[in-house]
Each structure stands twice: as C-alpha cells, then as structure tokens.
Structure 1
C-alpha cells in the first residue's frame, strides 16, 4: 500500500470514529437545532448558486437555466419541505391499540440510525448529494459524503461547502476514485445511501451485508414510456423530448425507450422532431451550437453511448432523427431510432444518453409481455387520455414510480416516495420518506392497565374462555 493511500485510509477511519463518537450528541439534537443546520445549507446554496452553475458548466457544459431548475430549485424544494415539516416528523406518531392490548398506548418514534455514508453520482452531482444529506441531518445523523470523481468541479464545490458549514465529526467529504469508496464501504456504517448504476449497487449491497448496514439504493434501468392512440400527441412529444434530452439524457429516470401504438407512431415521430427543434434549434443553426444542450460527461461515456448507437445501426436500426456525433466535443445529437430489436445492446443496457428507441405496438397484451420479460424499471411513463387504459397499465406492470401524461416530474415531488423496486432500487427518498430512510422507526408500548395478565398460566377454564373470546376478533 502506497504511503498516500495508507494516509488516506487512516484519515477515513479517524473521521469515521470521530463521527461515531459524535453521533450520540447529534441524536439528542432538537428540531430547532437540526433546522439551523438545514438553513446553513439553504443560505450557502442561495449565496453561491452562480459558482455552482459555473462548476456544472465546467464538468459537462450544463446550461445555467438547467442547473437552476434541476439542481438548485430541486434542492431548495427539498430543504423547504424539511424545514416546514421537521417538527412534526420528529414528534411521536400515535398508533391504534388492538383489543388484546387494551389498556396500553403506543406510538412510533423516529430516531437517528447513527453514522451514515452517502455515495452520489456525477449526473446531478449537487442535488443527488445534498438531497440525502438533508434527510440524514433532519433525522439527526452524522454523514460522510463521497461524490463522484467524474464531476471534479462540482465535487470541489461540495468539498468547500461542507468544510465551510460543518465540523468533520458532523459532516465530512472524501473525494477520490473507486478505491476511496471501497475503503469507506469497509467501515460499519449504520446506513448507506447509494445513487448510481445497478452494477455498482450490487457491490455496495454486498459490502453493506458484511457489516449488516442498512441501505438505500437509488439505481436505474430502462424506464419505458407508453403512448396509446388516445394520447395528446403534441403534448406527449414535448414532454418526452424534455424528459429524454434534459442533461443530454444522463438522467436515471429519463425515458429509455418509447412504445407507441402503431396507428399514431408517425404522428408522434414527427411531433418529437418538431419538439426537439423547438427546444434546441429554434433558429436553425444546429443543435451543436445550442446553449441549451449539455454534453456527455467524459470521453469514456461518449464512447460507451457511441458504441450503443453503432451496434444498433450495424444490426439494422435506422436513425429517423439526429445521429450526428463529435468526439472532440463529446457531442451526440438528440437521436431517434426505429427498427430496434432486443438483440441490440441499447435495448439490453440502460442507455443513459441522448438515444431514444421508438417501438411500435398493436395490442396492450403485446406491451405487457414485452415489459414482463424485463427488469422492473425505476419509472414508467404512460401517455393516454383513456382512464381504463391507464388503469390497465397500472394493474399489470410494476415500477418504482409512474407518471401519467408527463415524464420525470415525480422526482421533485416531496410528498411522494421516490425510488426503485428490486433491480432498479431499494428504499425510498424525498420529504418524509427520506427522513424515514435515515431513521429507525422505534415502536413504543406503554402499559397503563390491561387484560394480558389474565392470560398467564396456569391455563384454567377461565383463561381459556378469555382466549376463545379474543379469537373471535382475529
């Protein structure tokens, strides 16, 4: 082990031990004290939002307006929800008393889990780091953050923010590559919150199992978009185009492919093309010069997405919109593909880029068979004006979340549990559900008077009669 690596390993352990010692103090903090911590984040964000936008532009030319919407507004929305509701969340939550426990009162108290680890991705580097941190602090935990090394300017911004606002025994941040993450995962954290790919998610879960650490895994997968013949095609096209190509398609809940009823396929295709031109090329100068279109994060991921496109074309797919790529600029045009098959890699792996397969269907049963053969997605999008059709899809599919007649908006909905199911994730976040993920729901029963002692042995005829009476209410 190199000296620098050894030094970093020792430092990670020292910070972890300091946080473990401090966790008993943070566990006793009041709602007011936790609110003050969240307000510090809020004030820092509002004061330094221009610097954050500049960092994201450096990392992958993210448009300033897009940063404002997807990073700053979303984070601020999460903060406002926690600030407004934390006192209520922290109060004991009374529960009803079952008949056999007559004479007792019960409640659930949410107590902090302890020392938590947050491993965040590069695609929304600020929001997907700070959102779980808000939940962790609201629940009274300490936290160690590990942002992605693929968005270094954003990670540097986060490092400075954390150092400015918090002592290391409360919140600390470690930069670095996968080796740093592996060193962190060796430690017995009380909870681990990971956002990223399913492949790495499995590694995180295996590492957590060694210490019996609880986990929240926000993963990804191939989120389908279903469009039937009753849909408002123009509105569907705009909303699909925005959901797919915001952040250059590098969004875990972006539509990964569209299944459209054959009778409206050509209309939808034309409408998507018009929507893309309106968003990214309104003056006809080309999307490559648009200030509203981000770039692929790095050369590796550019090569990965380009390989998906090349593989599809070699196997018979056709480009009906876009297809232009510029390696030196990490630019891949918004691309619509038809004639795709399950043998193509872009229909096997999450695309996580600006390629969108368009697949026609004839019957609902055909769609259900297709979706049933695939992993459960993080999101499912349904475009239909037929309520019975919508209910049909909901009843026969499973997804982490579903949006009807729009895309992605659920992710910023602080009153909904957001997350995956099985292969697309474990656990939920947003608002109270994030607070709950970082808390131990501790059930408390208080005995005042009751009948349970009349059920103790010896089991006389009287005791048996009481038991038979209680069985009537089972």
Structure 2
C-alpha cells in the first residue's frame, strides 16, 4: 500500500468522524448488529480460514473466536446507550448552584493492530469497543494469518460502514506507513518487541496507546490442598497450555511451579490427560492446532535443541518441520537462565519448576517481570490472600485457566512488561473513549475570598472551604468565628 492511499483513507475517516454520525447511538448499534450478522452468515468461512492458517478445529474456533465475538458484540449492543450517557459528578456545596457530569466522547480516528494467533477475535473484539465508543477505525490484521486477514478485508466492507471502518492488509512496510500517521488512539496486540516499536512511534504524536502483550504467565500448583481434585487440575492445566492454539496464546500457561515431592505425580497426571485429549499420536490429532508460521516453529525448535534444555525433557519433544508440528512437551527443571525460562515460550513447551515449599513461588514470580496472568490451584485461603497481596500481574485466576478472557465484567489487560490498558465489555468502551469533565455553574453567589488582595480572613476561609467545614464557614461569615 502506498503512502497516498493511506493518507486518502485517513482523510475519509477524519471527514466521517467530523460529520458526527459515528457519535449517534443509532450508528453504533447498527454497526454492532451488522458485525453480528457478518459472523453468523460467514461462520463456515471463518472456520475454514482458521483451519488453513492455524489448523484450528471448528470447535476450538468457535470457543476461542466466533463465540467470543458474538457474545461480546451482543453484550455491547444491549448496553451501549447506557455507557454513552453522562455520569453525574459530585460538586462541593461551596459552589452552589452547580452540577457536574462526566461525558464519554470518542477519541476520533483509531488504529487497531491484531495478532496472528487469534486472528478473528483479536481483530473484532477491540473493533467492537471502538465502534461502541463512536470512533472511526483502521483495522490492521496480521499478515501471518493470511487467510483470516483476507477474509476480514473482504467481508468487513460488505457489512460495516466503509467510510468509517477500513481494513488495511500488508506486512511490516504497511505497519510502518500506518505508524507514521497521526492517530487519536492506537490499540496493539502482539509481542513486547513490536509493542516497543508501536509505543515509540505513538510518542511522536503523543498518541495514547493500549498495549496487549504477553509474558511468562505461571501456574502455581498447591498439591497439598488440591490432591483430591488432581484430575480436574491436570485437565485445566493441559487445556490452559495446549488447548488454545497449541500454546500460542498470550494468556496460556508458560510454566508450572510445584513442590519437588509432587513433581512426579504432576507429570504422570499431565501425561494421562495429554493422551486422553490428543491420543497416543498427537501429530495425527484433529484437536491440536499447528504452529502458526515457520519463524515460530524454528524459534521453538531451537529452544529445545539446547543440550541442557533437551536433557530436561520428560515427555514429548518430537517435531515435524513440514507439518509445522511440535509435540506437547514437558520439561522438568530446565536451566533458569536458558531462553526457555527467560523469554515467553508461546508454544507447546511446558517447563515444570520445582520448589522446596510452594510458598517460595511468590518470591520466584517476584524475581521476574510481571506476568499477564497468574494461575493458582489452591484451596488455601491464606495462600490465596498472599498471592493477591504480594504479587503483581494483569490478572489472577484461582483453580482454572483461560476462562477469565470471556468474562465481560472483568477487565482484561497487563501490567509492566505484559502491557497496559484494559478491554472487554464496558472496559473496551472506556479504552476507546475520553471521559470529559463538565461543570455547570451559575453566576451568583460569587466567592470573593478566591480573589486578591489577600488577607488572613481569606486564608481562614480557604482552609475551611478545602476541609468542607461548612459550619465553620457560616460562623466565619457571620463574624462569630475568631479571625486571626
């Protein structure tokens, strides 16, 4: 895409936004209904594209992508008018008569970068928030999911307002061209490396940015308190590691922390569930997605070819370059300074790190960058409280994995290296809105002590005013409170 075409598209989006039509509830709801219609009418085509790009089975595709979007769009559609309404803001009695309100307004022209691992949901879910807030949008799908990118580029103009919502396809050169433009908001989902590039470009224009990135999200397993539920725990760990896009998920489990005495029990439990989910030969399973691209396959293969890391493999480890397949692999205590333990894995490799006492998991996590999610399997309420109060992460999930992503009333986002900003449900609306403070006040009475010339009476008046001591103010004005 050439620079002239980018600038022409930007000009049309700015003109559309300036016309004011995207601010109306009618326009927003019409677009959300159209988005729901797009997904319903093209479900089979979406399934096909996701299978071609990532090997996703239709059940996985519906669970993680189609169903997520239908739920999210319907949720926003039923609430957007309420979200748009100004909220009352309290004004101190001192300024009577006066009232205040907080009015959400759209940022303007926004840019959304989607990721390749969930190429439909991570494109359309932020778009739902941008539409709900009344913005015009450029959506940039990932070129590493070419079939899904092509589907979005072809389908969206047929259903949504083409003067307000545009899809731009292309690779790194297109991303660079887009980042040279002045946007009113940028929403990015992807790696920390590219996130830094986006933030650097945004800083040139002081553009606000939401960065949804990954990190090494741990799972803490307190076997002592969960031993009677270990089959469920194992299923949820396997589901949270290999279930979403073969481990290529920002909220997937990156590694497990467990007490040394329970590691063999855990490994045996995980092996049984892997066989139950994916059969004796996972390479032939239709329920296991494939590695998304050759670059990620090569990177993951390199991780486990490190001799010290390879020596820690206790299950799996086989690869097939032609099929972009890597077997579900478990590693026990790989070197903590190896790349597999210092960088986000983003694939079907699961290190298990053993500790003398599960309480040590808090210190272990705090010695590393803040994760997007902490998963903790425990019934110990004291330990739960310690995790919540002594660690920092984008979110915490007790006794399950991944399910927080589909809860619209819970904000989704990172902290520190895992990103910043939040979305889902009302939080998506807020992410793409500016909350404008509005105050209405009459001309009388006038508060004379706010103006010079200064004296001790005005100082005492202001002290009482700022402490909301209205009785003291009254006495001062009546001359019954001692002046100094």
Same-fold call, TM > 0.5? yes
Specify the alignment match of 2:290 in structure 1: 295
Residues 104 and 242 of structure 1: CA distance in aligned 2, closer, same or farther (over 3 Å): same
Task: Assess if the C-alpha contact under 8 Å between 2:23 and 2:106 holds in 1.
Answer: no
Q: Residue 297 of structure 2 aligns to a residue in which SS?
A: helix
Task: Assess if the C-alpha contact under 8 Å between 2:96 and 2:441 holds in 1.
Answer: no
Task: Assess if the C-alpha contact under 8 Å between 1:220 and 1:377 holds in 2.
Answer: yes
Residues 471 and 364 of structure 1: CA distance in aligned 2, closer, same or farther (over 3 Å): farther
Query: Matches of 2:22 and 2:447 in 1, distance apart?
Result: 34
Specify the alignment match of 1:428 in structure 2: 422
Specify the alignment match of 1:183 in structure 2: 177
Query: Matches of 1:301 and 1:408 in 2, distance apart?
Result: 22
Residues 28 and 52 of structure 1: CA distance in aligned 2, closer, same or farther (over 3 Å): closer
How large is the RMSD of aligned CA atoms in angstroms?
A: 1.7
> Which consecutive segments of 4 or more residues in structure 1 shift more than 6 A?
none
Specify the alignment match of 2:313 in structure 1: 319
1:456 alignment partner, one of 451, 468, 471: 451
Provide Cα deviations, 1:348-380, integer angstroms capped at 9, x if missing partner: 111000000011112355322221221111111
Offset of residue 408 of structure 1 = 1.2
Provide Cα deviations, 1:277-322, integer angstroms capped at 9, x if missing partner: 11111xx4x11111111100122211111111112x4346422221
Offset of residue 174 of structure 1 = 1.1
Offset of residue 466 of structure 1 = 2.0
Specify the alignment match of 1:62 in structure 2: 56
Query: Matches of 1:315 and 1:289 in 2, distance apart?
Result: 26
Query: Matches of 1:350 and 1:320 in 2, distance apart?
Result: 20
1:240 alignment partner, one of 227, 237, 246: 237
Query: Matches of 1:333 and 1:63 in 2, distance apart?
Result: 17
Query: Matches of 2:396 and 2:241 in 1, distance apart?
Result: 16
Query: Matches of 1:66 and 1:173 in 2, distance apart?
Result: 25
Query: Matches of 1:353 and 1:28 in 2, distance apart?
Result: 40
Specify the alignment match of 2:259 in structure 1: 261
Offset of residue 460 of structure 1 = 4.5
Specify the alignment match of 1:309 in structure 2: 304
Offset of residue 436 of structure 1 = 0.6
Residues 361 and 163 of structure 1: CA distance in aligned 2, closer, same or farther (over 3 Å): same
1:329 alignment partner, one of 318, 323, 332: 323
Task: Assess if the C-alpha contact under 8 Å between 2:22 and 2:135 holds in 1.
Answer: no
Higher alpha-carbon Rg: 2
Provide Cα deviations, 1:139-170, integer angstroms capped at 9, x if missing partner: 00000011111111001110111221234431
Query: Matches of 2:348 and 2:112 in 1, distance apart?
Result: 28
Query: Matches of 2:308 and 2:22 in 1, distance apart?
Result: 61
My pick for the range that moved more, 16-25 or 133-142, is: 16-25
Residues 421 and 101 of structure 1: CA distance in aligned 2, closer, same or farther (over 3 Å): farther
Specify the alignment match of 2:464 in structure 1: 469
Query: Matches of 2:440 and 2:163 in 1, distance apart?
Result: 35
Specify the alignment match of 1:279 in structure 2: 277
- Superposed, 1:91-106 pairs within 5 Å as 91-106=85-100
- Superposed, 1:10-29 pairs within 5 Å as 10-26=4-20, 29=23
Provide Cα deviations, 1:202-229, integer angstroms capped at 9, x if missing partner: 0000000001111110011101111112
Structure 2 gap segments, 5+ residues each = 470-484
Residues 373 and 317 of structure 1: CA distance in aligned 2, closer, same or farther (over 3 Å): farther
Structure 1 gap segments, 5+ residues each = none
- Superposed, 1:68-83 pairs within 5 Å as 68-83=62-77
- Superposed, 1:30-41 pairs within 5 Å as 30-41=24-35
Residues 450 and 76 of structure 1: CA distance in aligned 2, closer, same or farther (over 3 Å): farther
